[in-house]
Amino acid sequence: TLPCPPGARPCSPKYFGLGAMVCVCNTTYCDTLDPLVLPAVGSYVKYESSKAGKRLERSEGRFQRRLCALDVVLSLDTTQRFQRVKGFGGSITDAAAINILSLPERAQDHLLRSYFSEEG
């Protein structure tokens, strides 16, 4: 398995060639996150996955009032609490449901928990 980043179980990788890899979830194992805890005021927590091998790699940082960075611009409206975030989501199609139902019951449970529970 890959090393365990803080706050997550290690990924059990399966490789498909051409740099394609997925984390395996089966009847005995599924990688998950620890329950999320809000960071201290002025700080953030980031989880990152990448084709280069990061799988929900956790990192922390502090917001800075003024930082010159040409490639990153982050605007945060601190006067608005619970801002809406667009871009997260998922769906279960009929084909996905058929595949999920073909798994053993325990693997189904692991898979659905990884999508829809607090540790997912």
pLDDT per residue as tens digits for the range 67-110? 666 676 667 777 877 766 665 566 778 888 898 899 899 888 88
Per-domain residue ranges of the chain: 1-34+93-119
**In this structure, how many other beta carbons lie within 10 angstroms of the beta carbon of residue 1?**
12
How far apart CA 39 and CA 26 sit, in angstroms, is 32
Report pLDDT for 87. 55
Q: pTM of the entire structure?
A: 0.47
In this structure, are residues 43 and 63 in contact, taking their beta carbons and an 8 Å threshold?
Answer: yes
More confident residue, 9 or 47: 47
Side chain identity at residue 101, one-letter code: L
How far apart CA 10 and CA 103 sit, in angstroms, is 22
Residue 94: what are its φ and ψ, rounded to 5°?
Answer: -60, -40
pLDDT per residue as tens digits for the range 6-20? 445 667 778 887 777
pLDDT confidence bin for 1, thresholds 50/70/90: very low
